[in-house]
A and B are shown apart, each in its own frame.
Chain A
Amino acid sequence: MIGLGERSLTVVPRAVWLALLVALILQIVWQGVQPRPVASAAALTAPPPLAVLRVASIGEPVVLAQLTTLYLQAFDNQPGISIPFRDLDYQRVTQWLATILALDPVGQYPLLMAAQVYSQVPDPARERLMLQFVHAQFLLDPNRRWRWLAHAAIMAKHRLHDAPLALNYAWDIERLAPAAPGWARQMRIFILEDIGELESAKILLGGLLASGEIKDERELRFLAERLEDMKNAEKSSQSSKK
């Protein structure tokens, strides 16, 4: 079909058609014989300095932080290859996460990745590194980041079986995050109860109830019942010993 302002195909010299056809065939053959691209895991490099990233963000550090988060997140799934977390350099990962948080301190995404994603690695040393990172970041803004430390406390207790570490985290939430809800601030009591430190748990819970900090009727009732349960459990364990 000849469009408006176009001449017939026959006006094109044969040499031009031939050149076009031969070049097209050669192009397809050339690309066809090229080896297929092979995925190779690239090492995670250190993040650029924060100052460079601030300049690169051209006044939009939050957006850059979000894009950087996605870059880091995609690193364990580079084009065509899925890298197990244990093969990632966790020191570098924490550097990236810290840089992202410095760019966007209000953002919670890097902490979620540290507490919920990277800490799932079946390697206690790496897991511990992530929990340390969450703890360090919690100390910078406890009222906003307590939930990730609460998760870290649970991880420390149930996955690492490190009760002192879990207690330490719970104690920091209780001490430094007044904006955290009651359940998070009462975590230490329940960890103590779980690890059999009933006496300490009882004292702490009793003290909490006596302090008048808890205003909610239902929560008060629930905690009073827990205190009663603890006392009963203690009595029954003492009688069984006799």
Chain B
Amino acid sequence: MRHLQIATIAYFTLLEALRTRLAWLFVIVLALILVTAYFIQQLAITESARLQVGFAAAAARVATVFVLSLHILTSMVREFNDKGLELTLSFDLRRSHYILGRLCGYTLIAALFALITTLPQLLLAPPQAALQWGLSLALELAIMTALSLFCIVTFTQLMPAASFVFGFYVLARALTAIRLISDTPLVGGDTLSHRVISLLVDALALLLPALDRFAQSAWLVDSAASWQVLGANAVQALLYIVLLGAAAMSDFYRRNL
């Protein structure tokens, strides 16, 4: 019975995405990226295929995260504003199951997004590399799904939630480079301020997922990643989804509706 409730919410989440023509919007965005990548390939004098694949992968990755996160945030805001949430919760339904249902539905959409994004790469890049890239993208999108859900449940407003999600994404992708810079500064390495900042950066690295290790375009243009990297991505994604899911649930339980 409980599983059925979760599945129903997930199904309606998928249905909502279909009826708001999200898939079409996403396909158009992807097509624009592929056309631009083709244009760049035509302009290139050398390494044209490399340029095309690299640009298409990197741009599609960011665009996918952007479209998916924005869809989740706006969908939940609509749910809050239309009082659909109150109606749903008036049934015999646990709040945690509502969050789980939403999470499952959005994760399914994320998986579909990853699949659509990977299809062109299967034609342009070696199949194994494209497959690994696609799987890793799906895991990254799953993390972003959980993050978007957590943010909108916590902040309830679009602007702060969207700002947090995109700020988090940029930081999670840049954190390894920031750590490297803070580890070996050119000047002022012994100062107290540097040590404090270095400690803060290291602490942040413990809490944030290193998204720069996910879906790298280098896998498509240089050499495929090892499956161990994919395994590590999967463990990280699982841990973070549970963490964010639980955080979203605890915030949701505390809300007065």
Contacts and interface: CB of A to CB of B under 8 A. Distances in A.
Interface of A: 5-9, 11-13, 15-17, 19-20, 22-24, 26-28, 30-32, 34, 36-37, 39, 46, 48-49, 51-52, 55, 77, 79-82
B239 A34 contact: no
A22 to B, nearest CB: 8
18 contacts: A5-B255, A5-B256, A7-B256, A8-B254, A13-B96, A19-B245, A23-B240, A23-B243, A27-B207, A28-B207, A34-B232, A37-B176, A39-B183, A79-B178, A79-B180, A80-B179, A80-B183, A81-B180
Given A79-B180, A80-B183, A27 B239 contact: yes
B43 interface: yes
Contact of A37 (B96, B179, B240, B254): B179
Interface stretch (B4-12, B16-24, B44-52, B117-125): B44-52
Contact of B246 (A7, A20, A31, A39): A20
Given A30-B236, A37-B180, A77-B186, A16 B249 contact: yes
B160 to A, nearest CB: 15
Contacts of A52: 40, 43-44, 51
Grouping DSSP codes into helix (H, G, I), strand (E, B) and loop, the B interface class, with mixed when no group exceeds half, is helix
B172 to A, nearest CB: 11
A115 to B, nearest CB: 23
Interface in B19-63: 39-40, 43-47, 51
A21 to B, nearest CB: 8
A23 B240 CA distance: 7
Interface in B112-154: none
Contacts of A37: 176, 179-180
B253 A80 contact: no
B242 interface: yes
Nearest to B244: A23
Contacts of A16: 96, 246, 249-250, 253
Contacts of A6: 254-256
B200 interface: no
Nearest to B47: A46
Nearest to B50: A45
A26 B239 contact: yes
Contacts of B253: 7, 11-13, 16
Contacts of B44: 48-49, 52
Contact of A80 (B43, B180, B235, B239): B180
Nearest to A6: B254
A194 B225 CA distance: 61
Contacts of A22: 242
B174 to A, nearest CB: 10
A26 B243 CA distance: 9
Given A46-B46, A48-B44, A79-B180, 4 more contacts: A12-B253, A31-B205, A48-B51, A51-B43
B254 A9 contact: yes
Contacts of B254: 6-9, 11-12
A150 B250 CA distance: 70
B184 A27 contact: no
Nearest to B39: A55
